[in-house]
Amino acid sequence: MTARIELTDAAPHQTMTLEFPSDGVTLTGRVRVPGDKSISHRALMLGAIASGETRIQGLLLGEDPRSTAACFQAMGVTLSPLEDEWVRVQGVGLGNLQEPADVLNAGNSGTTLRLMLGILASHPDRYFAVTGDGSLRSRPMDRVIKPLTQMGAEIWGRQGNRLAPLAVRGQALQPIHYHSPVASAQIKSCILLAGLMTDGATTVTEPSLSRDHSERMLRAFGADIVVDADTCSATVRGPATLTGQTVVVPGDISSAAFWLVAGAITPGSDLVVENVGINPTRTGILDALRMMEADITLENPREVTGEPVADLRVRHSRLRAVSLSGDLIPRMIDEVPILAVAAIFAEGTTTIADAAELRVKECDRIAVMASQLASLGARIEELSDGLTIHGGTPLSGSIVDSYTDHRVAMSLAIAALRTKGPVQIQRAEAAAVSYPSFSATLARLCGLG
């Protein structure tokens, strides 16, 4: 049997069928992953609200950043084509976004909606309506509406101000010190962005450190921002002045994670993933895979516009089960689905706890990963805040579903590399949210052209 990766289009959905020889598949070569999604959103947003031009190289051309770009274009921000090598954003200056003529649509992107809300709410006397796709309209927005309301924002949403579509009447906001109940970069960034236009110091304290791309980029754009890593706090002082900058976006470690696990679980594999962002608030997946005794080495470490970057080499090795919990989880929150796939091929029982946040991602990633991997034959149990995965059970082909979640679609495709018989992933088009060329890259790394 020869290997195959096929895409079948039945618009609006796509099915990905993957089948590999029973003696396995080996992944070799070099791969460059698309730009970091979190940094891409922030570069577009800060570029839009700064004064002067921002130039962005390496922007992720996925659906999520496209949603961000479209929202800010609708508010008077001029952008060069996103496909350009250097995307140019003509910033309108803080507080100068125009009232859009129509509803702003954040698509599938929680980062777009939540971060943008902090900016919109602080535009006095302007009215905005914001929505998203079916997944986003079911995700909790009260986590940002509540603190923004404490700052004086006026926001209305469905189900008791919890869900989008949302209506916003911009106001002059007051600074606050907000103690977030969850470690969430979206909450933290939303409030810091709202704080830019206040008169005074706005602080966000979180229970453990979430990704700090906003803090780094705000500083680069000229904001007065102080971070206290010991107390997991960030303070921005308003009114701020932001000046357009040059941003070079590193490759997304969340996308690299699929190749790291693919290389680790397939015998004979040896891959180099180039130009990956290794910001310490994002490298929980490297720590977890190393705890599992994966063979991963860092090559050519460097710094690119305020973010650490390296090439990551992964070679196949035997994996051991681990217990993951606590502060590590926010540092690998988007990589838990692919880590669950690695755990299937590890010796022993892996537990992942303190990850209840996964239930409010693009889908309920705990329930969906448990059910979809179980349908391939994995022994996996759902916990209220995580997963238990018993390694060493062989997988066999089945029909599975992405539940329209990009990371679920790609995690299932990587599981298929070690599955006997064909795996059919329904609604596989979801991958384009963060990795439009995923299936073509997978085919190339497997030697399929």
Write each residue from 30 to 59 as x if it is in contact with ligand S3P (CB under 6 A), else as -, in one continuous string. Answer: --------x--x------------------
Least spacing, CB of residue 64 vs ligand S3P, in Å: 9
Q: Which stretch binds ligand S3P (CB under 6 A): 87-95, 184-192, 279-287, 409-417?
A: 184-192
Describe the strand order of the beta sheet including 200-205 as a list of residue ranges: 177-179, 200-205, 233-238, 224-228
Q: Is 144 in the site for ligand S3P (CB under 6 A)?
A: no
Q: Could you say whether residue 281 binds ligand S3P (CB under 6 A)? A: no
Cβ distance to ligand S3P smaller for residue 211 or 418? 211
Give the interface segment with ligand S3P, choosing from 157-165, 183-191, 237-245, 304-312 (CB under 6 A): 183-191
**In the chain, how long is the greatest CA-to-CA distance?**
67
- Residue 184 binds ligand S3P (CB under 6 A): yes
- Residues in contact with ligand S3P, counted by CB under 6 A, come to a total of 12
Question: Residue 377: which of 428, 420, 320, 424 has the closest Cα?
Answer: 420
**Residue 279 binds to ligand S3P (criterion: CB under 6 A):** no
184 or 388: whose CB is closer to ligand S3P? Answer: 184
- Enter the tokens of residue 447: 């030697």
With contact defined as beta carbons under 8 Å apart, do 414 and 372 qualify?
A: no
**Contact mark string toward ligand S3P, 297..316, x via CB under 6 A:** --------------------
Would you name the residues annotated as active-site residues?
334
202 near ligand S3P, judged by CB under 6 A: no
Burial 285-295 (b: 16+ CB within 10 A, else e): bbebbebbebb
Q: Could you tell me if residue 304 is left (phi over 0), alpha (psi between -120 and 50 degrees) or otherwise beta?
A: beta
CB of 184 vs ligand S3P, minimal distance in Å: 4
Cross-strand pairs, 201: 237
Between residues 186 and 441, which has the closer beta carbon with respect to ligand S3P? 186
Least distance in angstroms from the C-beta of 140 to ligand S3P = 9
> Is there binding between residue 334 and ligand S3P (CB under 6 A)?
yes
CA distance 413 to 88: 35
Nearest to 88 by CA among 54, 62, 42: 54
In the complex, what is the shortest distance from the CB of residue 221 to ligand S3P, in angstroms, rounded to a whole number?
17
Work out the angle at residue 85's Cα, subtended by the Cα atoms of residues 61 and 49, and round it to the nearest 5 degrees: 70
C-alpha span between 304 and 344 (Å, rounded) = 35
Residues 75-114 that bind ligand S3P (CB under 6 A): 111
Residue with tokens 């018989």: 421
Selected binder of ligand S3P within 43, 56, 94, 185 (CB under 6 A)? 185
Q: How far apart are CA 193 and CA 171, in angstroms?
A: 14
404 contributes a contact to ligand S3P by CB under 6 A: no
Q: How far is the CB of 41 from ligand S3P (least distance, A)?
A: 6
DSSP 34: P
184 versus 255: smaller Cβ distance to ligand S3P = 184
Residue 254 corresponds to which tokens in the numbers above? 């969340």
Nearest approach, Cβ of residue 330 and ligand S3P (Å): 7
Give Rg (Cα) of the chain.
Answer: 21
- Which positions from 353 through 392 interact with ligand S3P, judged by CB under 6 A? 357
The DSSP letter of residue 173 is P
* 40 versus 424: smaller Cβ distance to ligand S3P: 40
Distance in Å, CB of 363 to ligand S3P, minimum: 12
**255 near ligand S3P (CB under 6 A):** no
E strand or H helix at 321: none
Our finding on whether 333 is near ligand S3P (CB under 6 A) is: yes
- Check if the beta carbon of residue 62 is closer than 8 Å to that of residue 435: yes
Pair 99, 128: CB distance under 8 Å = yes
CB 413 within 8 A of CB 261: no
Closest CB 236 distance from ligand S3P, rounded Å? 16
Asked if 135 touches ligand S3P (CB under 6 A), the answer is: no
Say how far apart CA 359 and CA 45 lie, in whole Å: 27
Give the footprint of ligand S3P on this chain (CB under 6 A). 38, 41, 111, 184-186, 189, 210-211, 333-334, 357
